[in-house]
Amino acid sequence: MVYQKNVLIGVSGGIAAYKACALTSKLVQKGANVKVIMTENATQFVSPLTFQALSRNPVYTDTFDEKDPQKIAHIDLADWADLVIIAPATANIIGKLASGLADDMLSTTLLATEATVYIAPAMNVHMYAHPAVIKNMKQLEEWGYHFIEPGAGYLACGYVGKGRLEEPETIIKVIEGHQNTNKLLTGKTVLVSAGPTREKIDPVRFFTNRSTGKMGFAIAEAAAELGADVVLVTGPTDQKTENKHISRIDVESAEDMYKAMHRFFPSSDIVIKAAAVADYRPKIVHNEKLKKQPGDWQFEMERTKDILKSLGEEKNHQFLVGFAAETTNPIEYGLAKLKKKNLDAIVINNVAQEGAGFGGDTNIVTYINASNKQENIAIASKRNVAKQLINFIHRDMKDDKQ
């Protein structure tokens, strides 16, 4: 809900600026406290006086116009806002924000705020499809900004296509929907495994795999953003955790991960095993570095413990989700894993498919629950994929209780 929320609207210089007037009015009618920042170009389309009358607050257009000498205006606004809406968001302001530029009142305030930011793009259809614009939007999405997709229709430039600012009613509906679901997992404990494992050969060598942990870390972040207390068990990775609701447990080997997952499993509500755990390890681990010898080396390998299967055997109230990274017949093998390991859902991806492999910033997955309901997620950032997966899991948990 936007009732009694402090809403900061950023209006950039596009013909759709007139729709921001209606957006301001409707937010005020819903009980929001609204303030408006306009770029210099935006004032060429709509007068600041219009927004002042609609919002019943001063309108900000100049970084150096300090209306209250006791405060720095752009910092004060950044701290005041509960949420920020950029509407319309031109290619220019999107590019500025993605590049970290701050050369006017709006861009400076956006860099300073810690509020949730919603971006409603509006531009020519070809501009919207330009690789630079797409790259900038993906970067902002990775950083946690929320996009309200433009509509398709007749544009002011004469083209017909995607790029028209979404209607004010729809913008508010999307924001209220997101605000209402923002704490879906409050009170829940989510256990996530991520990254690779390392199986030691000697003090300088080990067996590992190509996992970077990006998908598992994205899932942990998505769950924390929805209010969950997250325990993240991770193998060796360069990924960082900054969310205070994520407790990070660093491990190295498959045995280490087995012990950590079983330690936290009983107190968890949702368990998502996204780690790429070694299936085999050297049977003999050498305490001294193995010296180079003539001819070939041979290592006798032994099976590691099957973490996911063991969790499936022990689960009672937990919603258990596994990952299946395959290269051939992914759905077939994923479904077999779902049943064999007593899972509530499986996330399947073909790591040989472009855009879905280890180490990349995107993924393409299929989510299947125990009732064989299948959801396909097309190529998207791992952050976006993680959010969709968490929503599917929450939906299926609710269905199980009905």
| Cβ neighbours of residue 289 closer than 8 Å, sequence gap 6 or more | 202, 203, 204, 205
> Which tokens sit at 390?
């968490």
What are the angstrom distances between the C-alpha of 296 and each of 204, 284, 292, 293? 18, 17, 10, 8
Q: Is 21 considered catalytic here?
A: no
**What is the pairing mode between strands 205-207 and 199-202?**
antiparallel
Please tell me which residue in 157, 335, 379, 397 is annotated as part of the active site.
157
Run of H or E including 140:
helix 131-142
Cα–Cα–Cα angle for 33, 144, 91, rounded to 5 degrees: 80
| Cβ neighbours of residue 237 closer than 8 Å, sequence gap 6 or more | 194, 195, 196, 211, 212, 213, 217
- Provide the annotated binding site: 279, 289, 323, 337, 341
**What is the pairing mode between strands 6-11 and 33-38?**
parallel
Asked if 348 contacts 329 with a C-beta cutoff of 8 angstroms, the reply is no
> Which tokens sit at 398?
């609710």
- Provide the annotated binding site for CTP: 279, 289, 323, 337, 341
> What are the DSSP E strand ranges found in 157-269?
160-164, 189-194, 199-202, 205-207, 229-234, 246-250
User: Which residues are the active-site residues?
Assistant: 157
